[in-house]
Amino acid sequence: MTAVEEKFSLTEVLSSFKACLEKENQDVLMDYYISGWKGLVRFMNSLGAIFSFVSKDAVSKIQIMEAFRKSSSGDQYRSLQSMVAYELKAKLVDLNKRAEHSNSGCRTILRLHRALRWLQLFLEKLRTSTENSKTSVLCTEAYNDSLANYHPWIIRKTAMVSFYALPARNTFFEVMNVGSIEDVVTMLGEAMPYVSQVYDITQQLYAQHNLLDLP
Ligand code: 1Q0
């Protein structure tokens, strides 16, 4: 294991979501948002190959956003707010049906945004869980209350089956690399409000521009 991998903990990943929020105007900064997701994908990969169908999709969405950031219009993608303003003004978003702008930044971030809601629900359940709680049940409940509403039957089915392969609660806490269970509970209690804030601001931004149902 390299020094960098050894240091890697969920605390650092969640701190990206804190760093996302620009102090003055509460803009959600894209680079930190992306780096938060990259960290989450690393955690998911460490849980085993069974989740590769999930991580592949997350990675492809991260790559779409990185490409926008590196493109000649990269500055327009500095924050979620500037991206929405730019793509809408330049008519770069397919609003009703996927067509020539099938992978716009707006629709790509919307998918990650919906997944962030799952993460929020799941980590909150984990934080308040007890020794006997089953991670597959916590994960299924969080999924049914969030992402499942946007997934077709076949994906829902595959997701549900894969949740049975989730490691036990203790393993989850260990993989987070934060410390004792008490440390994890404290860390989540401190970090999750920032994730919620990023979620709420994004939700409001998308609602304001009628972007919550982008195809
Ligand atoms: C921890 C177990 C992970 C469980 C993840 C639950 C979500 C299941 C989602 C199933 C997604 C299936 C793949 C394809 C979906 C796409 O069709 C869909 C829509 O996109 P599109 O382009 O077809 O319109 N994509 C999505 O909905 C985006 C899904 C991204 C999910 C990313 C989830 C990443 C989560 C990582 C968290 C790691 C664990 C955190 C806890 C750490 C504790 C050690």
**ipTM of predicted complex:** 0.97
Of 10, 4, 5, 8, give the one whose Cα is nearest residue 195.
10
How far is residue 206's CA from residue 19's CA, in Å, rounded to a whole number? 21
Structure tokens at 175: 């993989």
Amino acid 212: pLDDT: 98
Residue 57 in contact with ligand 1 by CB distance below 6 A: yes
Residue 149 burial by Cβ neighbours in a 10 Å radius (0-12, 13-18, 19+): exposed
Determine the distance separating the centroid of ligand 1 and the alpha carbon of 53, expressed in angstroms. 8
6 — pLDDT class (breaks 50, 70, 90): low
Structure tokens at 9: 């903990």
Share of the chain above pLDDT 70, in %: 97
List the domains of the chain with CATH numbers. Answer: 11-208 (1.10.3520.10)
Give the CA distances from residue 138 to residues 72, 74, 125, 188, in Å, rounded to whole numbers and listed in that order.
Answer: 43, 38, 6, 16
pLDDT tens for residues 62-97? 999 999 999 999 999 999 999 999 999 999 999 999
**Residue bearing the CA closest to ligand 1, atom 1:** 44
How far is residue 122's CA from residue 118's CA, in Å, rounded to a whole number? 6
Amino acid 24: pLDDT: 84
CA of 173, closest atom in ligand 1: 44
Amino acid 49: pLDDT: 85
Of 6, 52, 41, 9, give the one whose Cα is nearest residue 188.
9
pLDDT tens for residues 111-130? 999 999 999 999 999 999 99
Sign of CA dihedral 169, 38, 30, 211: negative
94 within 8 A of 107, measured Cβ to Cβ: yes
pLDDT tens for residues 171-201? 889 989 999 999 999 999 999 999 999 999 9
Residue 201 in contact with ligand 1 by CB distance below 6 A: no
State the first-to-last Cα distance of the chain, in angstroms, to the nearest integer. Answer: 41
Which residue type sits at 75? Answer: D
Q: Which residues of 181-204 are buried (b: 16+ CB within 10 A; e: fewer)?
A: eeebbebbeebbebbebbbebbee
In the predicted model, is pLDDT for residue 2 greater than 50? Answer: no
1 — pLDDT class (breaks 50, 70, 90): very low
Whole-structure pTM value: 0.96
Determine the distance separating the centroid of ligand 1 and the alpha carbon of 14, expressed in angstroms. 17
In the predicted model, is pLDDT for residue 106 greater than 50? Answer: yes
